[in-house]
Amino acid sequence: MFTEIPAVLSERMAYLEKLDQKDRSDGTPRNKRLRQITRDTGKFLSLLTINIPEGEIIEIGTSAGYSTLWLAFAAKEKGKKVKTFELDEAKINLARETFRIAGLEDTIELVQGDFLDYGHQLGQVALCFLDAEKEVYEKCFRLVSGHMVRNGLIVADNAIDHYEGIKPMIDLAELDERFDCLMVPVGNGEFICRRK
Ligand SMILES: C[S@@+](CC[C@H](N)C(=O)[O-])C[C@H]1O[C@@H](n2cnc3c(N)ncnc32)[C@H](O)[C@@H]1O
């Protein structure tokens, strides 16, 4: 599938990768940085998404839409959509531009606001990519876990480089008998919870 990424999509991905690199080296304050997933993590998300069961695909933490592109690329192949949540207005504007340029506006629904205010509206979830502030991971897990379909996946980013920050969520998930959990050393570490 990676040989079939449309040019407009791979060009926007490359543009965002450069923007993210620039952010990391030019002193941009942390809250303004894009803080994107790695390219390997993006590919990993696409591979997971192409094989998920029926249900919603959601993302918590859009930033400029880089990770959303990897989710949506695979979702589109399956005729599915991605719903992604973002708080920050400047990043929302950049994400809208991303989805328009990549021709994925019909595949992606961008929700402006705090995911924690929307959690109660969730339907049946097949895949949740969690990449927000580390302090909210545990709350997000509590909100999403009851909505997961059988074989659905919660994938939490930064599980290795911010292990201490998200440990409360990891501990909670590992004690939860509804889930099989695994730390995957791709990118910055992806903690995967599969609904049994
Ligand atoms: C690490 S960045 C996301 C990077 C993005 N997933 C990517 O790889 O391209 C985290 C983003 O989550 C957003 N965020 C943090 N807490 C949130 C919340 N409770 N609801 C929605 N967005 C949130 C932040 O504004 C920030 O843009």
Distance 64 CA to ligand 1 centre (A): 9
CB atoms within 10 A of CB 9: 20
Give residue 99's pLDDT.
Answer: 98
Predicted TM-score (pTM) of the model is 0.97
> What is the fold of 2-195?
Rossmann fold (3.40.50)
Give residue 156's pLDDT.
Answer: 98
Distance 27 CA to ligand 1 centre (A): 19
Give residue 29's pLDDT.
Answer: 86
**Residue ranges for the chain with pLDDT beneath 50:** none
What residues line ligand 1, using a CB cutoff of 6 Å?
35-37, 60-61, 63, 66-67, 85-88, 91, 114-116, 131-133, 136
Q: Give residue limits of the domains in the chain.
A: 2-195
Mutation test of ligand 1: which of 31, 33, 34, 35 has the most ligand atoms closer than 8 Å to its C-beta?
A: 35
> Quick one: how many helices (H) and strands (E) in the chain?
7, 7
Give residue 119's pLDDT.
Answer: 81
At 34, the amino acid letter reads L
Give residue 181's pLDDT.
Answer: 98
User: Phi and psi for 142 in degrees, rounded to 5?
Assistant: -60, -40
Task: Give per-residue pLDDT as tens, 137-188.
Answer: 999 999 999 999 999 999 999 999 999 999 999 999 999 999 999 999 999 9
Tokens of 150: 């059988």
| Length of the chain (residues) | 196
Give the distance between the most distant pair of CA atoms in the chain. Answer: 45
Give residue 90's pLDDT.
Answer: 94
